[in-house]
């Protein structure tokens, strides 16, 4: 997939208010692919001719094609694969994909742009929630929290023991954040409160004032940073450049006790290489909220004790999901009213 930020910069000049005039005269047909919070769905019913997914079933390919052929606006989520095969059947009806979520790696942006379809996302409103879950995994993996819970639930706990479930102290460890965007910075703020020292790698160095505020050390060379960290947190988007960024040779640079946390996208890490290292005890552990082939979980991961697994719940708060829905509504409303949608990843051509 292409980099959303780079695309946004190349906004299509034909994405003009005039070009959307046909849409402004009537309520747009909006297809929502998953069940959203009630408040969001009710508002969508008021504003649009919305088709909701009441039973929350997953759209197969045929249903997605039917949706894009018959809707002005599609509201997908990360669980939908909006590839070229689907998009090529979307015109002339579909004009906007208002994604419910920030990551847009499940949408073929190149083809959407080629076809003049606008794509929006929901940045900003899930930052704190995702950073909270990231921090929870940063704590849970080195402190073996879920391992302890499993022991207890299995009825195997025989009481306190001086050497039982010893983990690693959080304070004083070095945290290496890969991707110092909104979420990476929110993780850094939390991490400082727990006494971690913050290091980061990013495509571009963040402004000096931000570095100072976060007391964060920049590593231009990811390989070098990996070799010196105790904990790694992956917080960058999935793009062509970041797919398998944590490859086998890169992962091999981690220290034996290092813990890797991923709340971004599973495909950024070579999952099989990660399993090799975890199985051989060549790294300390992992906290994973995202998986390469979700919802299928690599069975090798399930057999490991030294990892904490959560089912892609970084943004799963009531407030967060309602705010995401509100962003989707604002994007659709702005678009159909002839204004530029605020969270454009791709600015398309409309008729
Ligand atoms: C969302 C996410 O819940 O926004 C994202 O990119 O990963 C999640 O937190 C999900 O994408 C909903 O589509």
What single-letter DSSP state applies at residue 13?
T
Whether residue 261 contacts residue 184, with contact meaning beta carbons closer than 8 Å, is answered with no
pLDDT over 90 percentage in the chain: 91
Is residue 181 very low, low, confident or very high in pLDDT (cuts 50, 70, 90)? very high
pLDDT of residue 5: 46
* Helix or strand run (H / E) with residue 22: helix 21-24
How much is the pTM?
0.92
Query: What average pLDDT does the segment 185-192 reach?
Result: 98
Residue 309 Cα to ligand 1 middle (Å): 17
Whether residue 139 contacts residue 169, with contact meaning beta carbons closer than 8 Å, is answered with no
Question: Residues 107, 184, 149, 271: what is their CA dihedral angle, to the nearest 10 degrees?
Answer: 50
pLDDT of residue 10: 44
Domains of the chain: 4-125+318-336 (3.40.50.720), 127-309 (3.40.50.720)
Query: What average pLDDT does the segment 12-37 reach?
Result: 72
pLDDT of residue 349: 77
Residue ranges of alpha helices (H) inside 244-350 are: 248-251, 271-279, 299-302, 318-336
Q: Return the structure tokens found at 168.
A: 């690693």
Considering the chain, what is the average pLDDT of its residues?
Answer: 94
* DSSP reduced 3-state for 177: strand
Is residue 331 very low, low, confident or very high in pLDDT (cuts 50, 70, 90)? very high
pLDDT of residue 13: 37
Q: Return the structure tokens found at 196.
A: 């971690």
pLDDT over 70 percentage in the chain: 92
pLDDT of residue 348: 87
105-163 pLDDT per residue, tens:
999 999 999 999 999 999 999 999 999 999 999 999 999 999 999 999 999 999 999 99
Residue 123 Cα to ligand 1 middle (Å): 10
217-260 pLDDT per residue, tens:
999 999 999 999 999 999 999 999 999 999 999 999 999 999 99
What single-letter DSSP state applies at residue 259?
E
Ligand 1 proximal residues by C-beta, below 6 Å: 77-78, 100-103, 126, 130, 314-315
Instruction: Look at strands 118-120 and 96-98 and give their pairing.
Output: parallel
Q: In what order do the strands lie in the sheet with 259-262?
A: 216-218, 197-201, 174-178, 231-234, 259-262, 285-288, 307-309
Pocket test for ligand 1, best of 79, 101, 234 (most atoms within 8 A of CB): 101
Query: What average pLDDT does the segment 192-212 reach?
Result: 98
Whether the per-residue pLDDT at 177 is higher than 50: the answer is yes
Closest-CA residue, ligand 1 atom 6, reads 103
pLDDT of residue 25: 65
Whether the per-residue pLDDT at 6 is higher than 50: the answer is no
Residue 78 Cα to ligand 1 middle (Å): 6
Pocket test for ligand 1, best of 4, 75, 78 (most atoms within 8 A of CB): 78
């Amino acid at each position: 997939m292409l980099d959303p930020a780079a695309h946004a910069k190349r906004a299509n000049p034909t994405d003009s208010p005039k070009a959307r005039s046909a849409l402004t005269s009537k309520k747009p047909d909006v297809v929502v692919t998953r069940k959203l919070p009630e408040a969001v769905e009710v508002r969508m019913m008021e504003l649009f001719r919305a088709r909701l997914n009441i039973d929350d079933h997953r759209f197969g390919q045929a249903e997605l094609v039917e949706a894009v052929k018959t809707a002005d606006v599609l509201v997908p989520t990360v669980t939908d694969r909006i590839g070229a095969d689907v998009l090529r059947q979307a015109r002339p009806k579909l004009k906007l994909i208002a994604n419910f979520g920030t990551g847009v790696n499940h949408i073929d942006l190149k083809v959407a742009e080629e076809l003049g379809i606008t794509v929006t996302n929901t940045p900003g409103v899930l930052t704190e929630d995702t950073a909270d879950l990231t921090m929870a995994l940063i704590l849970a993996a080195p402190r073996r929290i879920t391992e302890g819970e499993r022991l207890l639930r299995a009825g195997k706990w025989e009481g306190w023991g001086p050497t039982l479930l010893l983990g690693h102290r959080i304070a004083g460890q070095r945290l290496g954040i890969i991707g110092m965007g909104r979420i990476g910075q929110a993780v850094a703020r939390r991490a400082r409160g727990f006494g971690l020292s913050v290091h980061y790698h990013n495509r571009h160095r963040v402004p000096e004032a931000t570095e100072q505020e976060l007391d964060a050390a920049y590593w231009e060379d990811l390989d070098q940073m990996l070799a010196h960290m105790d904990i790694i947190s992956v917080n960058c988007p999935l793009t062509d450049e970041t797919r398998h960024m944590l490859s086998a040779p890169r992962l091999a640079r981690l220290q034996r006790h290092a813990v890797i946390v991923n709340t971004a996208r599973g495909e950024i890490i070579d999952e099989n290489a990660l399993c090799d290292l975890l199985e051989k005890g060549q790294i300390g552990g992992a906290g994973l909220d995202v998986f390469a082939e979700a919802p299928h979980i690599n069975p090798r991961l399930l057999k490991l004790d030294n990892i904490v697994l959560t089912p892609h719940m970084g943004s799963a708060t009531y407030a967060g999901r309602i705010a995401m829905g509100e962003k989707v509504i604002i994007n659709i409303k702005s678009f159909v009213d002839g204004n530029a949608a605020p969270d454009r990843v791709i600015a398309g051509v409309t008729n």
